[in-house]
Amino acid sequence: MDKQLEKIRHSASHVLAASIKKIYPQAKLGMGPATEDGFYYDFDNLNIKEEDLKKIENEMEKLVSQNIKFSKKYVTKQEAKKLLKNERYKLELLKELKGKISFYTSGNFSDLCKGPHVKSSKEIGAFKLLRLAGAYWRGDSKNKMLTRIYGTAFKTKKELANYLEILKQAEARNHIKLGKELDLFSFQKESPGVPFFHPKGTIIYNQLLNFLREEYKREGYKEVITPVLYDKSLWETSGHWQHFKNDMFTLKIDNRDFALKPMNCPSHCLIYKESLKSYRELPLRIADFGPLHRNEIKGALVGLTRVRKFSQDDAHIFLTENQIEQEISRLINFTNYVYKKVFNFDYSANLSTRPEKYIGDLKLWNTAEKRLKKSLVDNKIKFNMKKGEGTFYGPKIDFDFKDSFGRLYQLATIQLDFQLPQRFNLTYEGEDGKKHTPVMIHRAIFGAVERFMGILIEQYAGKFPLWLAPVQVKIVTVNDLNKKFAGEVLDKFQKSNVRTELDDRPESIGRKIRDAANLKIPIVITIGDKEVSKKKLAVREENKVSFDLDPEKFIKEVCDRISKKC
């Protein structure tokens, strides 16, 4: 975000706080920063509803139009204490500050604040309050829940209008909303942050896994099924117990510490070790769709995007140093195929290199980075260098994907790891007859399947391509005399493994077509008296209608499109 925009938003949040204090003097101030998308301010002792936002906005408008100046002053901690004597949250923040304490004043409103701010409120070109939310003080669920008001601000009215239009479109595509409307999944209070995939959502989920399983055959991956619960000793070996314990769900079994796995890598190291390995068996590509659990804080849980249980299209590749370059090229091609050819996402890559704190051999790092770079260049992939942003155990390539909406996601990742094979004491017998330590690649194409599915729902606005659609074909009858032929057609589609449903309710044909459209079913076949007498089909797709299609031929065409993932 540019500096001026940040100032505008931060200043808008002060104007918000000033307005609140004017209308609701009893409200207590929490924090009010600028964010990537706008700003917010948290208040205690403020009992308002969405419909009050307009009133608050009007008050803000008044203040902004007065061209109020923002001025900074420094006071001693003692003076600050006095100024904030009625603001218990600010006093808590003050305790952590040292030296001179800075305040910003705008009109009658003064706030403990480092700034920077705009000089005058007229620089706030356009702003809007967006919504209310509950937020724990300092993000800690042990603290009190405050009232958060979200808003946004821009340099110009046009920029704000653009942003609001995007918000509106995004809201129509919101995967949580569509997930409910299309009966794909639900959330239940009994298992916070974990989706319950309903039958239709499960079809999409399983189709995504089956698609990868088919690709895995071609790419030489071998799937395994591993436990969920592991003894602490495993996590100590992998280093998770030392570095990741707070993100894991832990429990005691037989008086020993166990954790639900947050990642699959250690289990795959155990399987690798089960038999002696020769260089001839490498690269060994082990894939796992097992459920992973991470203890995300409750307040951070969002739809399918931030969940506590998920499956990754996780694979670990064990290989020799000499195989790195070829394997990376193969992975780049695989990723390219999945995103570009199948899902039609645009993407760019990032190469993250050795950070300041790293482990392992410097020469190996340099060679590995060179190899990753060469693979990217050879495969003509645009990429940004992120110097020093690799993991401590190895360099990595991340892919940023842009959906049809222009939003960026980091999904696929390819990480080299020189460390875990050593920690698990993995070896292979080389051509020289000696024992060597293999290199390991952690890689995911979708990333978390749940999150990927959320992105797909928004990408397609719920209208899944034929091969993924939970219901691929809906047959609707015009009247009861058409039921017999409709049933025969249904049977033929189902026998060809096309997910097909029949709607022969005594409703109007218009209503039935509308219902199918609301469920975003790709192909709707209408069967009336003419179709029955001719034994032909009328087919609607993407608002186009084709008549007199031969059932057998059309089924073949549909199957063909499904298998080609069109």
Minimum CB distance to a second copy, residue 502 (Å): 13
Query: Which of 265, 293, 308, 330 is labelled catalytic?
Result: 265
Tokens describing residue 201: 């959502």
Measure the CA–CA gap between 396 and 346, rounded to whole angstroms: 20
Query: Which of 148, 240, 293, 396 is labelled catalytic?
Result: 396
Q: Between 181 and 361, whose beta carbon lies closer to a second copy?
A: 181
Q: What is the DSSP string of 234-278?
A: HHHHHTHHHHTGGGS-EEEETTEEEEE-S-SHHHHHHHHTTS--B
Minimum CB distance to a second copy, residue 440 (Å): 17
Q: Between 96 and 254, whose beta carbon lies closer to a second copy?
A: 254
Mark 383-401 as b/e (b = at least 16 C-beta within 10 Å): beebeeebbebbbbbbbbb
Tokens describing residue 304: 């399918």
Using DSSP, state whether 504 is helix, strand or coil. Answer: coil
Measure the CA–CA gap between 268 and 261, rounded to whole angstroms: 12
Q: What is the largest CA-CA distance in the chain?
A: 92
Minimum CB distance to a second copy, residue 329 (Å): 22
Minimum CB distance to a second copy, residue 142 (Å): 9
Q: Between 12 and 555, whose beta carbon lies closer to a second copy?
A: 555
Q: Between 29 and 234, whose beta carbon lies closer to a second copy?
A: 234
Q: Between 195 and 395, whose beta carbon lies closer to a second copy?
A: 195
563 contact partners, CB below 8 Å, separation of at least 6: 467
Q: Between 286 and 440, whose beta carbon lies closer to a second copy?
A: 286
**What's the full length of the chain, in residues?**
566
Minimum CB distance to a second copy, residue 269 (Å): 10
CB 15 within 8 A of CB 149: no
Minimum CB distance to a second copy, residue 237 (Å): 9
Minimum CB distance to a second copy, residue 360 (Å): 25
Measure the CA–CA gap between 194 and 208, rounded to whole angstroms: 19
Query: Which of 312, 415, 419, 472 is labelled catalytic?
Result: 312
119 contact partners, CB below 8 Å, separation of at least 6: 69, 70
Query: Which of 42, 111, 313, 314 is labelled catalytic?
Result: 314
Q: Between 10 and 499, whose beta carbon lies closer to a second copy?
A: 499
Helices (H), 244-361: 265-272, 324-336
265 catalytic? Reply is: yes
318 contact partners, CB below 8 Å, separation of at least 6: 272, 277, 282, 283, 284, 286, 421, 426, 428, 438, 439, 440
Q: Between 447 and 470, whose beta carbon lies closer to a second copy?
A: 470
Binding site for a second copy (CB under 8 A): 141, 183, 186, 188-192, 194-199, 201-203, 205-206, 217, 222-231, 233-234, 249-251, 253-254, 260, 267, 270-271, 274-275, 286, 290-291, 293, 295, 298, 308-309, 494, 497
Q: Between 59 and 223, whose beta carbon lies closer to a second copy?
A: 223
**Residue bearing tokens 């980091």:** 410
Return the closest-CA partner of residue 358 out of 336, 389, 328, 386: 389
Question: Residue 496 is inside which H or E element, if any?
Answer: none
Minimum CB distance to a second copy, residue 401 (Å): 24
Measure the CA–CA gap between 312 and 333, rounded to whole angstroms: 19
Q: Residue 476: exposed, middle, or buried by beta-carbon count in 10 A (0-12, 13-18, 19+)?
A: buried
In single-letter form, the type of residue at position 472 comes to Q
Give whole-number Cα distances, 551 to 290, 385, 500, 513, 537, in Å: 41, 54, 14, 19, 6
Minimum CB distance to a second copy, residue 177 (Å): 15
Q: Between 7 and 499, whose beta carbon lies closer to a second copy?
A: 499
Tokens describing residue 357: 């704190």
* Residue 280, CA atoms < 13 Å, CB-side half-sphere: 3
What string of H, E and C letters represents the secondary structure of 166-216? HHHHHHHHCHHHHHHHCCCEECCCCCCCCCEECHHHHHHHHHHHHHHHHHH
Query: Which of 128, 240, 436, 442 is labelled catalytic?
Result: 442
Minimum CB distance to a second copy, residue 505 (Å): 10
Query: Which of 117, 293, 316, 443 is labelled catalytic?
Result: 316
442 catalytic? Reply is: yes
314 catalytic? Reply is: yes
Tokens describing residue 452: 């990927």
Query: Which of 117, 175, 277, 294 is labelled catalytic?
Result: 294
Where in the sequence numbering do the catalytic residues fall? 265, 294, 312, 314, 316, 396, 442
